[in-house]
Amino acid sequence: MAWRFLLHQQASDQLTKLPTDVDERIRSKLQEMVTNEWRDLLDYDVKRVRSCDHDVYRTRIGGHRVFFLAEKPIAAILHVDKREGAYGNTDRLDNRADDFTG
């Protein structure tokens, strides 16, 4: 079963506020992550977010942190933020993940 690459509306709004080159870099990196079956997620500096009820992960892409849901067949970007403001609210991530899973 192939992955479906989705984007939460609030994450989409966050991406569009970024400079175009950063937005494109993040989108293409995440697309590569879910379609490249030959590379392990650890190659992308992916770590599971503790305290989330869903399989939420974060990855570093430049100075940004991208939080995404990875429950096959869904790969959904939930939140994008600069490193300084990215952490601390796992409830927000779970609520956004609920939009895709239940």
pLDDT digits (tens, 9 = 90+) for 41-80: 667 788 888 888 888 998 888 889 999 988 878 888 999 9
Q: pTM of whole model > 0.75? A: yes
Structure tokens at 11: 């994450």
Contacts of 47 (CB under 8 A, 6+ apart): 57, 58, 59
| pLDDT band, very low/low/confident/very high, at 3 (cuts 50, 70, 90) | confident
Q: For the chain, list the domains and their CATH numbers.
A: 4-101 (3.30.2310.20)
| pLDDT band, very low/low/confident/very high, at 98 (cuts 50, 70, 90) | very high
Average pLDDT (6-31) is 89
Q: How far is the C-alpha of 19 from the C-alpha of 101, rounded, in Å?
A: 30
The yes-or-no verdict on residue 35 having pLDDT over 90 is no
Long-range CB pairs of 22-28 (<8 Å, 24+ gap) are 22/62, 22/64, 25/61, 25/62, 26/61, 26/64, 26/66, 26/80
